[in-house]
Amino acid sequence: MLTPVHLQYVSSQLSWTLTSDKEQITQASYQVQFSCSDTFDKLLWDSQTVSDMSSVCVPYGGPPLPPGEEICWRVRVIDNAGEESGWSETAQFINGLAPGDWQARFITPDTDEDAAQSAGKLLRRTFSLDGEVARAIVYVTALGLYELHINGVRVGEDLLTPGWTEYNKRLLHQSYDVTPLLRKGDNAVGAMLGAGWYKGDLAGWIGRRNIYGRHTALLMQMTVRLTDGREVCVFSDADWRCSDGPVLYAELYHGESYDARLARAGWNTADYDDVGWTPVRVMEHTTDTVTPQDGPTVRRQEVLPVQSLICTPAGENVLDFGQNIAGWVRFRVNGQAGQRVVLRHAEVLDRDGLFYTANMRSARNEIVYTLKGDGEEVFEPHFTFQGFRYVQVVEFPQTIEPEQFEAVVIHSAMERTGWFSCSDERLNQLHHNILWGLKGNFVDVCTDCPQRDERLGWTGDAQVFARTATYLMDTRIFFQKWLRDLRAAQYENGGVPFVVPDVLSGQFPPGDVISNADPVTGWGDAAVINPWTVYVAYGDKGLLAECYESMKAWVEYIRTLATDGLLWNTGFQLGDWVALDAKEGSYYGATATDLIATAYYAHVTRLLSRAAHVLGNEEDASHYAALRTDIGAAYADEFFSRTGRLVSPTQTAHILSLAFDLTPEAFKPRIVKDLLSLLDASNGHLTTGFLGTPYFCQVLADNGCLREAYELLLKDDYPSWLYQITKGATTVWEHWDGIKPDGSMWSADMNSFNHYAYGSVGEFLYRVIAGIDTDPEQVGYRKLVIRPRPGGGLTHASAAVMTPYGRAESSWRIDGSEHFRLNVTVPHNTTAAVTLPDGAQHVVGSGRYDFTCTLSH
Ligand code: BGC
């Protein structure tokens, strides 16, 4: 049976996948229908039958969709054997409001003094409906964070809404169908507001707060259609009333203090008596920046039980959840009014087994709950989250029972798309840690870390991890949202800030490790690398087109900085950040920064040229191809001796020269040999930082050194990826020596145990070990490349990737010493080019296949 499933509408592009019990299936034609009703009696658009294979990122071709409406769409297809599918299940989404559609006003419960406070405030109003409700949709956002309630029920499952964007230019609103929550007669709507990213503490080490504004505010508009056809609108306006509530204090970094005795029972229902509540203040604030949610929202994803209850040598009671996460603790407690629960959070215990929080810097990560004392009370915080594995129970009114606590894992709601396993458990743990690095750091914005007073969208980290992220989860719209913020934050001259959203520009105090300098290589390059990576992994040409001018502006900006427009040897650089070849106590790796900067400049110029070609802009394509050639020639002149020695004798210099195709052909053997010598000189260990590490194994594998790539990957003594695993890591560390071999720690001023940058090696597990990739010309896995490269003594490895076309699998096993067996699954509407380790090649259509060959040693 042929069925289109998994319908996705993203920014006027449609995707679906085909399921069928047959093999060798391609799509011959499709038909798409859009309507405002699930009966499809009145159509907004009917594509009619289109003879075309496209099933991924198909442009929507109808008239603009009506704002604010619930949109239904469906698709049916005919395959290459002539089989017709029925209509797919109907997919639905709410098309958010356009800026001009807002009649609601921003309303604030805050007084002037509240700018310095971080309490949660309550707002409410009642309204009456004199008819049965046919349909109700609410559109809502806030300055700060909000939780919306209707008639006593929390609306939706989204957390930390409206999320974090470049607020001055883009504030997202969410839309919910709330039909079941309303009723004929009296109704109430209530909201709780918190400080969040908008006005709370950010970039704690430079002590910023009120970055976007001094007061929290709500913007809400609800359209209720009654069964008799009348429409009622409820807005945030001067008729609302407000009050303090039980959230005494909530800050993203510092935690939450909640006094349950101050909870206003029934505050979000119509019967509640709000005497004593005061009128809200209508706030002048534009709605021009308010735009519909365009990324995944943050949600509760998993719940983890306590693994063990530890009493440390200092007598601290510590819960171990067995996994470093981002989220919070939910607990149940019984006690008397006024008694307290106090929790602190940590990622690791120190070498003496003590609770260790020094690396959180100023982030307090503390939960204080005061009981109201009437039976069992259940609590989880509202406007904060923590990065932790261990929780110290500082105060608790009862004997601590592990069952009373659970860890709630939160992150942006994305579907998992990558699975990997092999015969080496340490590598499986590494994969696990990389995946959890993503989970812990894709909390609305791709952050460096989720625990200390930082948690910022560092562009360099996001850039090096992007391809790995696209293997692990469906990050397409996550990056869409973040790239829109990147573009909003981009300076007029094309420069890209260190972090997006940008809360750092011009903020570094004198003497800070980072100067107030212009944008830097490896970080600003996210403007080009991330949209390109999304295009490669998902075939999203729409996003590439959206980002094109921004990509170009970044390259043009570098051109103005570069000497003769070719060698970027000016200004401050972060370089090969935290590489081990740095001077004692320094963060800056030893690789010459002009070499790194020029290498990246060449790399992104090539990607820009390719993007121009994909978008049909051949003039730019050849212009930037020529520029790339010139940069390459200048690079060779400047950084290679006449006989092919690289001026910067570091691993990273050699890696980048090979990875970005900057090594003249004649010098390649020498550069590869020199890289191996450098590796030898450090006893087979890496000394690379953020910019060299991601490409290390890949470069070795692609240059005839597969054995050495595996040796490097499988090292488990310090420093190496697996060293962390021998130290019990459950996520990827910021530093190779976060915990040193003697058990002491790297300096607490910068020592995160959940930093995904070095997890960028995940790509190697999928692309080289299991051998799954997209064809570079037929991106988004339109054509698959299956090319496993076994080694490292592994006896089997398998990976599955949920591509935009469906599930692709590559699974191999070595029987005896040399019999190699490969099982491959190719999704419908694609083909795969399979290359076996003996060099044999096969091109196959959708289906499951077994291949065998003999391995030569
Ligand atoms: C962050 C890094 C970031 C770096 C750049 C650090 O504080 O945690 O991941 O890329 O600064 O300077």
| Residue 517 pLDDT exceeds 70 | no
Q: Look at residue 513 in the predicted model and tell me its pLDDT.
A: 60
Query: What contacts 732, CB < 8 A, 6 or more positions away?
Result: 433, 434, 437, 721, 724, 754, 755, 756, 757, 758, 759
* Secondary structure element (H or E) that encloses residue 201, with its range: none
Q: Look at residue 206 in the predicted model and tell me its pLDDT.
A: 83
DSSP calls for 40-63:
-SSEEEE---B-----SSEEP-SS
CA of 489 to the centre of ligand 1 (A): 18
Tell me if residue 454 is catalytic: yes
Of all atoms in ligand 1, which is nearest to the CA of residue 513? 12
Query: What is the CA 738 to chain-centroid distance, rounded?
Result: 23
pLDDT band at residue 817 under the 50/70/90 scheme: confident
| Residue 285 pLDDT exceeds 90 | yes
Under a CB-based contact definition with an 8 Å cutoff, are residues 165 and 171 in contact? Answer: yes
| Residue 593 pLDDT exceeds 80 | yes
Q: What is the share, in percent, of the chain residues with pLDDT greater than 70?
A: 99
Active-site position among 454, 708, 763, 809? 454
- Residue 337 vs residue 583, higher pLDDT: 337
Which of 619-623, 669-673, 813-817 is the least confident region?
813-817
| Residue 346 pLDDT exceeds 60 | yes
**CB 460 less than 6 A from any atom of ligand 1:** yes
pLDDT band at residue 95 under the 50/70/90 scheme: very high
Phi, psi of 226 (to 5 degrees): -90, 160
pLDDT band at residue 439 under the 50/70/90 scheme: very high
CA of 514 to the centre of ligand 1 (A): 9
**CB 733 less than 6 A from any atom of ligand 1:** no
**CB 574 less than 6 A from any atom of ligand 1:** yes
405: burial class by Cβ within 10 Å (0-12, 13-18, 19+)? buried
Q: What is the mean pLDDT of residues 316-322?
A: 98
**CB 450 less than 6 A from any atom of ligand 1:** no
Q: Look at residue 857 in the predicted model and tell me its pLDDT.
A: 61
Q: What would you measure as the largest C-alpha separation in the chain, in angstroms?
A: 87
| Residue 160 pLDDT exceeds 60 | yes
| Residue 818 pLDDT exceeds 90 | no
**CB 632 less than 6 A from any atom of ligand 1:** no
Structure tokens at 90: 């109907």
Q: What is the mean pLDDT of residues 345-361?
A: 97
Under a CB-based contact definition with an 8 Å cutoff, are residues 645 and 595 in contact? Answer: no
**CB 576 less than 6 A from any atom of ligand 1:** no
Average pLDDT value for the chain: 96
Nearest CA to ligand 1 atom 4: 458
CA atoms within 13 A on the CB side of 558: 34
Query: What is the CA 707 to chain-centroid distance, rounded?
Result: 32
Q: Look at residue 518 in the predicted model and tell me its pLDDT.
A: 72
Which of 271-280, 340-349, 365-374, 577-586 is the least confident region?
577-586
- The C-alpha atoms of residue 103 and residue 434 are separated, in whole angstroms, by 45
Active-site position among 147, 316, 366, 734? 734
pLDDT band at residue 674 under the 50/70/90 scheme: very high
Q: Look at residue 507 in the predicted model and tell me its pLDDT.
A: 79
Under a CB-based contact definition with an 8 Å cutoff, are residues 71 and 34 in contact? Answer: yes
313: burial class by Cβ within 10 Å (0-12, 13-18, 19+)? exposed
pLDDT band at residue 275 under the 50/70/90 scheme: very high
Alpha-carbon separation of residue 529 from 467, 495, 521, 608 (angstroms): 9, 15, 12, 9
| Residue 146 pLDDT exceeds 80 | yes
Which of 61-75, 508-522, 532-546, 696-710 is the least confident region?
508-522
Q: Look at residue 515 in the predicted model and tell me its pLDDT.
A: 61
Nearest CA to ligand 1 atom 8: 448
**CB 485 less than 6 A from any atom of ligand 1:** no
| Residue 223 pLDDT exceeds 90 | yes
Structure tokens at 569: 């040897």
CA of 323 to the centre of ligand 1 (A): 23
Report the DSSP pairing between strands 255-259 and 366-370.
parallel
Of all atoms in ligand 1, which is nearest to the CA of residue 459? 10
Probe target for ligand 1 pocket from 448, 513, 691, 753, with the most ligand atoms within 8 Å of CB: 448
CA of 458 to the centre of ligand 1 (A): 6
Q: Look at residue 505 in the predicted model and tell me its pLDDT.
A: 86
pLDDT in tens, 171-192: 999 999 999 999 999 999 999 9
pLDDT band at residue 519 under the 50/70/90 scheme: confident
CA of 520 to the centre of ligand 1 (A): 12
Q: What is the mean pLDDT of residues 124-143?
A: 97
| Residue 204 pLDDT exceeds 90 | no
| Residue 514 pLDDT exceeds 70 | no
Probe target for ligand 1 pocket from 577, 690, 693, 746, with the most ligand atoms within 8 Å of CB: 577
Structure tokens at 575: 């370089």
For residue 795, give the nearest of 479, 427, 419 by alpha carbon.
Answer: 427
Task: List, as own/partner pairs, every contact residues 204-207 make where C-beta atoms lie below 8 angstroms and the sequence separation is at least 24, other chains included.
Answer: 204/253, 204/361, 204/362, 204/363, 204/452, 204/453, 204/454, 205/361, 205/362, 205/453, 205/454, 206/504, 206/507, 206/508, 206/509, 206/512, 207/362
Q: What is the mean pLDDT of residues 195-208?
A: 92
- The C-alpha atoms of residue 46 and residue 75 are separated, in whole angstroms, by 10
Tell me if residue 113 is catalytic: no
Q: What is the DSSP letter of 180?
A: G
Which letter, b or e, does each residue of 615-648 get, where b requires 16 or more Cβ atoms within 10 Å of its Cβ?
Answer: eebeebbeebbebbeebbebbeebbbeeebebeb
Nearest CA to ligand 1 atom 9: 448
- Cα-based torsion angle of the residue sequence 436, 439, 445, 447 in order, rounded to the nearest 10 degrees: -20
pLDDT band at residue 511 under the 50/70/90 scheme: low
**CB 457 less than 6 A from any atom of ligand 1:** no
For residue 501, cis peptide bond before it (omega within 30 degrees of 0):
yes
- DSSP, collapsed to helix, strand or coil, labels residue 259 as strand
Probe target for ligand 1 pocket from 449, 456, 459, 461, with the most ligand atoms within 8 Å of CB: 461
CA of 797 to the centre of ligand 1 (A): 34
Q: Look at residue 711 in the predicted model and tell me its pLDDT.
A: 98
- DSSP, collapsed to helix, strand or coil, labels residue 403 as helix
Q: What is the share, in percent, of the chain residues with pLDDT greater than 90?
A: 95
CA of 265 to the centre of ligand 1 (A): 44
CA of 448 to the centre of ligand 1 (A): 7
* Secondary structure element (H or E) that encloses residue 677, with its range: helix 668-681
Nearest CA to ligand 1 atom 1: 448
